[in-house]
């Protein structure tokens, strides 16, 4: 990685900056801000250069000239080596197998992978494969040929050849970024360095991507923004600031679990909204996003920006499901006149939310058909937390949302697939999809060792067999459930009833 490193460390959470062997020195620019890094990343450069070689041409004509120059240099290096030609075929076969119809989503999954990689030439995941982001895991197969390809075409030499241009890119962003960070902290009245302990905020510039795309990620305590500057002078500070606001505010919600618990009924008001499922199932994420959108509305444009323009941003947020944005907008009007900072005012803002009033206001909202894509890929609730939310929606009679959440848990490779299939099966029953229920109960049995899921899956399968007048198969399932669930009173009683007589759906006691 190249310079512009902040003077303050990230309390052990950031890896040491990697300097490749025999790296060409280049002029250093002063740090952007305490705790913030503006830099380039050779792993990101390598991955994006590879997909360019394989035909990723999105927004090529609008890109920084360096993108075309590097593509030409790589093409010559590949042409000069038969081994590199064969390896390129393997890299591109993997790329083509995972290419998506949306070029933005294609790019996003490779950015996610690159952010998890150690510097070249190793290009190895920093974490266990099971801990990779789902979209990064999906394209993991590109790594073995990519590691060879990097060495065979001597991509590091190409990277080194363009150091002066990288420096120019970093200098172009340095002052605007510093100004934006300073302005944001001044508005929130945050003491210098507040919230940086154990956290990292990094902006990577890379010319090999499309300039119209901004990829932001929140992985644990670390926040990343990957931007590809283009010919257009726009620096996309709005997207960087959105991520920076998450960096500053995300952790605040975690300090107020009791206050957030009080607000959870509001999730029922937004379950039909088009915003991402994480916001519809995690009150902390919803509250933070609403506050951020209110801040963006309050600080949009110049000081003299028309109020109507700001209100338009607020109402747009509401129609997407961010129903607390108007409340926070008004709260910020009071905050701006108060000398205290946001860390002091935050609890009062939460306590001032009238849940009943907000539910009534939300009931009058006509939600939009679609929502703006979220800039930051948040550390959304995963695994068991998603499944807990799915169970809650199932208990509330919302089979469709329970199904969505359970499928999300499977897509994100939950370590509890049996329970996810069990929820899908129950949602299918609620939707009168007997075949779907049978399939997912069988998958649940094949995917878990948890007695509760195993026993009740067999019980439900027994009942399905009874309804289809297959008594012999039904008895087999009930006996299996009794053997597995002998220590589970409810399952034991249900299995014993199934053995004694065929299941009848009108009997509520079963």
At 339-355, the pLDDT tens digits run 999 999 999 999 999 99
Q: Is the pLDDT of residue 74 over 90?
A: yes
pLDDT: which is higher, 449 or 159: 159
Per-residue pLDDT band for 31 (boundaries 50, 70, 90) equals: low
Q: Whose structure tokens read 């390598």?
A: 46
Per-residue pLDDT band for 9 (boundaries 50, 70, 90) equals: very low
420 three-state secondary structure: helix
Give the torsion sign (CA, 481, 486, 491, 497): positive
Lowest mean per-residue pLDDT among 379-388, 435-444, 499-508: 379-388
Q: Is the pLDDT of residue 318 over 70?
A: yes
Q: Which of 137, 129, 113 is closest to 41 using CA atoms?
A: 113
At 193-204, the pLDDT tens digits run 555 556 789 999
At 228-277, the pLDDT tens digits run 999 877 778 898 999 999 999 988 988 898 999 999 999 989 988 999 88
222-227 and 214-219 strand pairing: antiparallel
- Is-contact 204 225, C-beta < 8 A? yes
Average pLDDT for residues 161-170, to the nearest whole number?
A: 95
Ramachandran class of 432: left when φ > 0, alpha when ψ lies in -120 to 50, beta otherwise? left
What pLDDT sits at residue 7? 27
- Is-contact 200 243, C-beta < 8 A? no
At 96-119, the pLDDT tens digits run 999 988 899 899 999 999 999 999
- DSSP E strand boundaries for 192-240: 200-205, 214-219, 222-227
Q: Is the pLDDT of residue 382 over 80?
A: no
- Is-contact 347 287, C-beta < 8 A? no
- Is-contact 472 456, C-beta < 8 A? no
- Is-contact 283 263, C-beta < 8 A? yes
Q: Is the pLDDT of residue 222 over 90?
A: no
pLDDT: which is higher, 376 or 399: 399
Q: Which residues pair with 230 in a beta bridge?
A: 63
pTM metric for this prediction: 0.71
What pLDDT sits at residue 507? 47
Question: CA–CA separation, 482 vs 391, rounded Å?
Answer: 24
- DSSP E strand boundaries for 261-391: 376-377
**How many CB atoms within 10 Å of residue 486?**
13
In a 10 Å sphere around its CB, with 0-12 CB exposed, 13-18 middle and 19+ buried, how is residue 189 labelled?
Answer: middle
Average pLDDT for residues 140-162, to the nearest whole number?
A: 97
* pLDDT over 90 percentage in the chain: 64
502 three-state secondary structure: coil
Q: Which of 346, 358, 298 is closest to 322 using CA atoms?
A: 358
What pLDDT sits at residue 377? 67
Name the H helices within 337-371.
342-351, 355-363
- Domains detected in the chain: 36-219 (no CATH), 254-377 (no CATH), 384-500 (1.25.40.10)
Question: CA–CA separation, 465 vs 461, rounded Å?
Answer: 6
- Is-contact 465 471, C-beta < 8 A? yes
Q: Is the pLDDT of residue 146 over 60?
A: yes
What pLDDT sits at residue 501? 94
- Is-contact 103 211, C-beta < 8 A? no
Give the torsion sign (CA, 327, 330, 332, 337): negative
pLDDT: which is higher, 434 or 18: 434
């Amino acid at each position: 990685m190249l310079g512009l490193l902040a003077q303050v460390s990230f309390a052990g959470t950031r890896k040491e900056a990697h300097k490749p062997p025999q790296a060409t020195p280049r002029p250093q620019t002063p740090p952007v801000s305490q705790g913030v890094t503006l830099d380039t990343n050779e792993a990101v450069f390598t991955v994006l250069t590879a997909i360019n070689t394989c035909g990723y041409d999105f927004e090529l004509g609008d890109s920084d000239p360096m993108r075309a120059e590097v593509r030409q240099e790589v093409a010559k290096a590949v042409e000069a080596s038969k081994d590199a030609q064969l390896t390129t075929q393997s890299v591109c076969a993997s790329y083509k197998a995972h290419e998506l119809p949306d070029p933005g989503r294609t790019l996003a999954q490779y950015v996610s992978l690159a952010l998890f990689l150690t510097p070249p030439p190793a290009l190895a995941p920093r974490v266990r494969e099971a801990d990779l982001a789902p979209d990064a895991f999906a394209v993991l197969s590109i790594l073995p040929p990519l590691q060879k390809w990097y060495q065979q075409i001597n991509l590091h030499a190409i990277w080194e050849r363009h150091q002066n241009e990288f420096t120019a890119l970093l200098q172009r962003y340095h002052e605007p970024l510093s100004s934006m960070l300073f302005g944001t902290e001044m508005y929130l009245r945050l003491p210098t360095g507040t919230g940086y302990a154990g956290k990292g905020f990094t902006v990577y510039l890379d010319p090999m991507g499309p300039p119209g795309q901004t990829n932001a990620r929140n992985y644990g305590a670390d926040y990343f923004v990957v931007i590809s500057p283009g010919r257009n002078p726009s620096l996309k500070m709005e997207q960087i600031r959105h991520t920076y606001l998450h960096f500053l505010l995300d952790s605040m919600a975690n300090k107020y679990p009791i206050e957030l618990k009080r607000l959870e009924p509001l999730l029922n008001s937004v379950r039909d909204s088009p915003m991402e499922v994480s916001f519809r199932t995690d009150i902390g994420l919803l509250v933070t996003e609403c506050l951020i959108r209110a801040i963006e509305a309050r600080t949009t444009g110049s000081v003299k920006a028309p109020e109507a323009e700001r209100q338009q941003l607020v109402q747009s947020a509401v129609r997407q499901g961010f129903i607390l944005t108007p409340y926070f907008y008004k709260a910020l009007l009071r905050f701006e006149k108060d000398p205290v900072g946001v860390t002091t005012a935050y609890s009062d803002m939460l306590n001032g939310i009238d849940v009943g009033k907000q539910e009534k206001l939300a009931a009058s909202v006509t939600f939009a058909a679609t929502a703006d894509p979220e800039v930051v890929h948040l550390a959304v609730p995963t695994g068991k937390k998603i499944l807990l939310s799915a169970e809650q929606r199932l208990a509330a009679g919302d089979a469709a949302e329970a199904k969505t959440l359970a499928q999300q848990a499977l897509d994100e490779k939950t370590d509890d697939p049996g329970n996810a299939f069990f929820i899908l099966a129950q949602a299918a029953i609620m939707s009168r999809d007997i075949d779907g229920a049978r399939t997912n109960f069988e998958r649940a049995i094949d995917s878990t060792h948890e007695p509760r899921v195993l026993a009740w899956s067999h019980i439900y399968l027994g009942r399905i067999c009874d309804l289809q007048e297959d008594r012999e198969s039904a008895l087999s399932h009930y006996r299996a459930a009794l053997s597995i669930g002998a220590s589970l009173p409810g399952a034991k009683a249900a299995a014993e009833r199934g053995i004694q007589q065929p299941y009848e759906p009108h009997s509520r006691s079963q």
